[in-house]
Amino acid sequence: MRDARRPPNAEADRVPVVLASQSPRRRQLLSLVGIEHEVRPANIDETYLAGEEPRTHALRLAREKAAAIIVPGAVTIGSDTIVVADGDVLGKPRDEGEAAHMLRRLSGRSHTVITAVAVRWRDGMVSDAEEVGVTFRSLSDRDIRDYIATGEPMDKAGAYGIQGYGATIVERVDGDYFAVMGLPLNRLARLLESLGLVYHFGPVRVAQRDATA
């Protein structure tokens, strides 16, 4: 019996993938799992709406990014990551002083990273979000100063990146590590399936049903 996930003409059923994000980390993660893709960053307004909850905000932005880039026949992936501490959203620091403030706030404590992902194909769009607990070790003033000097915190939500130097200040991750990096890969694969697509350790393809199965 043929595997329904592997169509006879696999090359003809391959679906092009567009990543609606300029994040090098998201691009790295898609490449890591063999999903060839084109990068077309979505230019959207990321301002919070009045009374908007963090998870709702991340989901809305992911969906707006996926909707903003339309390439005929292609799957578009949008994603958004936010860091939440004590109910407050910590975005990208505006300067080194704000980066230091964020890192002091996170030092020796746990916070939540929310990464939303949206997938658009044909007339359908699905989305979901992963919430992950992250705990920092206690940071000295020198730790904070030296980490900021690497430049890594300046373009990251919450002023840190878990995939770089920041790996040495994270004590524990409770949940999907890849969501903290910026793209929950397992969640992405499930969303693709819900749209009638399949990821089988390589390119995204149209799912096929074997009539004799």
Task: Kindly report, residue by residue over 68-120, the tens digit of the pLDDT.
Answer: 999 999 999 999 999 999 999 998 999 999 999 999 999 999 999 999 999 99
Could you tell me if 42 and 21 are in contact, meaning their C-beta atoms sit under 8 angstroms apart? yes
Residue with tokens 């040495």: 168
d(Cα 148, Cα 95) in Å, to the nearest integer? 10
pLDDT at 3 over 60: no
pLDDT at 44 over 50: yes
Tell me the two tokens of residue 97. 């002083």
d(Cα 127, Cα 204) in Å, to the nearest integer? 17
pLDDT band at 11 (very low <50, low <70, confident <90, very high): low
Could you tell me if 7 and 203 are in contact, meaning their C-beta atoms sit under 8 angstroms apart? no
The answer to whether 80 is a known catalytic residue is yes
Residue 173: enclosing H or E segment and its boundaries?
A: strand 170-174
Q: Which of 13, 80, 88, 176 is catalytic?
A: 80
pLDDT band at 177 (very low <50, low <70, confident <90, very high): very high
Does residue 197 or residue 12 have the better pLDDT? 197
Residue with tokens 């607990």: 133
d(Cα 103, Cα 189) in Å, to the nearest integer? 33
Could you tell me if 20 and 40 are in contact, meaning their C-beta atoms sit under 8 angstroms apart? yes
Could you tell me if 171 and 164 are in contact, meaning their C-beta atoms sit under 8 angstroms apart? no
Residue 211 has what pLDDT? 34
Residue 209 has what pLDDT? 61
pLDDT band at 7 (very low <50, low <70, confident <90, very high): very low
pLDDT at 186 over 60: yes
Residue with tokens 């890849």: 178
Instruction: Delineate the domains of the chain, giving CATH numbers in brackets.
Output: 17-206 (3.90.950.10)
Residue 161 C-beta-side C-alpha neighbours within 13 Å: 19
Q: For all residues of the chain together, what is the average pLDDT?
A: 92
Give the strand pairing for 124-136 and 170-174.
antiparallel
pLDDT at 2 over 70: no
Per-residue DSSP letter, 127: E
Q: Is the dihedral of CA 196, 200, 201, 203 positive or negative?
A: negative
Give the strand pairing for 17-19 and 38-39.
parallel
pLDDT band at 140 (very low <50, low <70, confident <90, very high): very high
Tell me the two tokens of residue 184. 């929950």
